[in-house]
Structure 1
Amino acid sequence: MLAPPALASPADGATRNGREIYQQFRDGLSDPECGPEVSQRWRKHFAAAPKRLAAADENTLALFGYVVDALHASSLPTEYALIPFVESGYKPDARSPLGPAGLWQMIKRTARDHEVPIRKGYDGRLSPVDSTRAAVRYLKTLHGMFAGDWRLAAMAYNAGEYRILGALKRSGQVARDARPAELPGLSGITHAYVRKLHALACVLEQAEEREQWLQALDRPVPRLRAVTVATDVDRVEEWASSHGQDPARLRRLNPVFADGRIDHGDAPVSLLALVPAEGPDTAPAAGTGAASAAGSD
């Protein structure tokens, strides 16, 4: 087995080893146990997830690392980093015919309730920065509301907190010692949500046993950060040119700017970009006015 890489702090450069991201994910799991009770159905369903995560020609691992970092900064379990896998396959441009959109597959009402900007020309659900910031903030609230039980919080993310609070009350349970699988009056989809996340965590956890997969992770992966775009910059290509980044890649990371146009509206606009080789605190090029911003609150 490959020796684990030395862990670096988030400010240690433009890239990090993919196995460092994986290790941070594993270290942050609230429920790392993978016994026979884990759903075999959902294990099979997500069997391709390790391959997708390790694919060198996609942004999945970099986005996964961005979400894991945001959860770590908020002291939340990394099971929550699997929600975009379940919801969108970690595709920031994912859209459902039923209305949800983005990494976290938010409906418009949920997005607006959690301060994701949506206006003509700008759908913040398609911004990994806006949607991840809102999702992590919401998960932080749910995590506290349900006594730090990630299973209850995940169910609440899927069904709404009031349904879970009602189910706890009807069953005579309290969050601190609840039995989520026994909560009454909830849909099969909500109960399956926890089984999906746990099975997916176990698929990734036990992928460590596959040497070839670990070797595929053992490569430099770009660090991502949110930057605030100055109001005088109205094209992704313009920002990319000033910062030495690939505009096509930035558009893939930020499908909210799919046509390359940056609509500033009435509030600051954030772009998910690669950390520059000089380090995350490098000053922006003259005339762009871009400033570093946190990836999550």
Structure 2
Amino acid sequence: MEIRLGGAWISRTTLRDCIPRGALLKVITAGALLALAACAPLPPANPGDTSANAETMSTVADLPNVPANPRVAAATQGRRLDSPLIKQVAPTGLSPLVVDLTVAPADVWTRIRRSFAVPNIDTPLVREWENFYASKPEYLQRTAQRAGKYLYYIIEEIDQRGMPSELALLPFVESSFDPWALSRSQASGLWQFVPATGRGYNLKQDWWRDERRDPIASTNAALDYLQYLFEFHGDWHLALASYNWGEGSVKRAIEKKAGQGMPTDYLSLDMPDETRNYVPKLQAIKNIIANPAKFSIVLPTIDNQPYFVTVTKSRNIDVKLAAQLAEMPLEEFKALNPSFNRGVILGRHEPTLILPADRIGVFEANLLAHNGELSSWHTHQMARGDTLASVAKQYRTSVATLRSANGLGPKSSVSAGDSLIVPVGAAAGEPAIIATAVPAAVRPVAARGAAAVGKKVHVRTHRVTKGDSLSSIAKRYDTTVDQLRALNRIKGSAVQMGKTLQIPGTDSRS
């Protein structure tokens, strides 16, 4: 059997047999080593919409009855290539590109180009998005730099599953490769899972962590979801539309057209503007990655080698100490490990720490030489009759310190089964680091399974006073202006004195 790749028909057997892979590390790894890039503003939902408050991210629609481990479609397996030389027609219609498949790609971009397999669409909307992205080279550069930390891992997983490499570019559209990205519908992470769909794909969301932001867990969940959607529709354009709109909505749109005796392909369906733009956005990004010179875009080099490795811990460890042991900046550690909500990483979860590949040896050596405690925080499960005052007395600290460490407002209360982090020893008076973005519902881990269900979620708020600005508030709470705007539905940069703002890191639905 043959498949179509970039305009050329080629046989479908084994690409991997042609590419040496012995040098790959036998650890979970991802992307080429790049400097941590600053977060970039995201593009608006429509090419003509340049307002600061434009909706910037697509969301994964809530999906009822999604299997936690959907069966992989047979049609998505074993899709590989064996031709040592193939001719790919560039999406621009320029001269074909000759690709030697016997030589391992030196960079991730080349590797992605080799495995394009989603049929191209060529519509005016694609041209509009090409022009839009090409007019913002700085944005593309920053996004591509952020992608450098994750792309190697993503394309490795895609290759192992035999899926089209275009899917590795989907976070360009979803989140601009920002793992902290948070949409107004509470979709979060590189792949923008809403809470319910994340839970359906076993992404843990609780007081300690939100795995929708975990680069590894969320990538695996997203690819599982996309495989399920492809099996459901048998068409990648419809699968992508379903990722954005929900497969139930796409199915109904197909049935409506079929009932009218009309075509039921992606371009023929009636759908919301966001979904109508979704696949053209990805096609435009694909075209730019395929031929950046045509669009006067210079992509940063991303070597075809690991950016990160992982290590599993079974003991509590402070986020600050973990970064220090790896001898890396705290912000870079948090960028690689954005799923942790608290300043202490809970050992009983057996968490996976993500470290740059060149830091693992340093981390292990420093950990072996470290004689002190790994965490200056204790976890306390609230028992019946416990109060903040009684817990503070028990640990010789103050109620104010407990509130600060746990992100509790002055009127927030705690209940039996809730979890608190309590400073001990030298940490007294030092509040724990709170994750910069914890979208959606995060609840303390219950002491007895489902006992936490229905508990009140602690809401952290800030009342705007004279002299406050969105910038100063964002800096104070270690978040961003964009996240404050999105969570509080603020347009522009002005904020009214006396207004109470929801701070990222808590549930907006108390």
Q: Distance in 2 between matches of 1:56 and 1:196?
A: 15
Q: Distance in 2 between matches of 1:238 and 1:8?
A: 39
* 1:181, distance to aligned residue in structure 2 (A): 0.7
SS of residue in 2 equivalent to 1:41: helix
TM-score of the superposed pair, with normalisation by structure 2:
0.46
Q: 1:202 aligns with which of 271, 287, 291?
A: 287
SS of residue in 2 equivalent to 1:116: coil
Residue 234 of structure 1 is matched in structure 2 by 317
Quick check: 1:43–1:200 contact (8 Å CA) kept in 2? yes
Answer yes or no: is 1:84 the counterpart of 2:175: no
* 1:69, distance to aligned residue in structure 2 (A): 2.1
SS of residue in 2 equivalent to 1:271: strand
Q: Distance in 2 between matches of 1:80 and 1:231?
A: 34
Pairing of 1:136-285 with structure 2 (within 5 A): 136-147=223-234, 149-172=235-258, 179-184=265-270, 186-209=271-294, 213=298, 216-217=300-301, 220=303, 223-225=306-308, 227-243=310-326, 245-257=328-340, 260-264=343-347, 267-276=349-358
Q: Distance in 2 between matches of 1:97 and 1:90?
A: 17
Pairing of 1:13-24 with structure 2 (within 5 A): 20-24=107-111
Q: Distance in 2 between matches of 1:241 and 1:144?
A: 45
Answer yes or no: is 1:106 the counterpart of 2:193: yes
Residue 451 of structure 2 is matched in structure 1 by none
Quick check: 2:210–2:340 contact (8 Å CA) kept in 1? no
Q: Distance in 1 between matches of 2:284 and 2:208?
A: 38
* 1:220, distance to aligned residue in structure 2 (A): 4.9
Quick check: 1:251–1:258 contact (8 Å CA) kept in 2? no
Runs of 5+ in structure 1 lacking a partner?
1-6, 289-297
Q: Distance in 2 between matches of 1:11 and 1:53?
A: 30
Residue identity matched to 1:40: R
* 1:107, distance to aligned residue in structure 2 (A): 1.2
1:53 and 1:260, CA in 2 relative to 1: closer, same or farther beyond 3 A? farther
Q: Distance in 1 between matches of 2:137 and 2:151?
A: 12
Quick check: 2:169–2:282 contact (8 Å CA) kept in 1? yes
TM-score of the superposed pair, with normalisation by structure 1:
0.75
Pairing of 1:46-125 with structure 2 (within 5 A): 46-47=133-134, 51-52=138-139, 54-55=141-142, 58-125=145-212
Q: Distance in 2 between matches of 1:278 and 1:194?
A: 39
1:247 and 1:278, CA in 2 relative to 1: closer, same or farther beyond 3 A? closer
* 1:168, distance to aligned residue in structure 2 (A): 2.6
1:146 and 1:10, CA in 2 relative to 1: closer, same or farther beyond 3 A? farther
What's the CA shift string for 1:87-126, capped at 9, x where partnerless?
1111011112331111112111111111110011211122
Q: Distance in 1 between matches of 2:137 and 2:161?
A: 25
Q: Distance in 2 between matches of 1:49 and 1:20?
A: 23
* 1:165, distance to aligned residue in structure 2 (A): 2.4
Q: Distance in 2 between matches of 1:261 and 1:278?
A: 20
SS of residue in 2 equivalent to 1:62: coil
Q: 2:220 aligns with which of 133, 145, 159?
A: 133
What's the CA shift string for 1:214-271, capped at 9, x where partnerless?
5x42x6577244625212142234444555655431211222236643135x643223
* 1:133, distance to aligned residue in structure 2 (A): 1.6
SS of residue in 2 equivalent to 1:9: coil
SS of residue in 2 equivalent to 1:39: helix
1:34 and 1:96, CA in 2 relative to 1: closer, same or farther beyond 3 A? closer
SS of residue in 1 equivalent to 2:355: strand
Residue identity matched to 1:25: I
Q: Distance in 2 between matches of 1:157 and 1:190?
A: 9
Q: Distance in 1 between matches of 2:275 and 2:239?
A: 11
Q: Distance in 2 between matches of 1:140 and 1:10?
A: 28
1:94 and 1:248, CA in 2 relative to 1: closer, same or farther beyond 3 A? same
Q: Distance in 2 between matches of 1:97 and 1:123?
A: 17
SS of residue in 2 equivalent to 1:213: coil
Deviates most, 136-145 or 160-169: 160-169
SS of residue in 2 equivalent to 1:227: strand
Deviates most, 221-230 or 155-164: 221-230
Residue 91 of structure 2 is matched in structure 1 by none
Residue identity matched to 1:105: Q
Deviates most, 118-127 or 10-19: 10-19
Q: Which runs of 4+ in 1 moved over 6 A?
A: none
Deviates most, 71-80 or 85-94: 71-80
1:230 and 1:80, CA in 2 relative to 1: closer, same or farther beyond 3 A? same
Same amino acid, percent of matched pairs:
24
Larger relative contact order (Cα-Cα within 8 Å, sequence gap ≥ 6): 1
Q: Distance in 2 between matches of 1:81 and 1:232?
A: 34
Rg larger for: 2
* 1:139, distance to aligned residue in structure 2 (A): 1.0
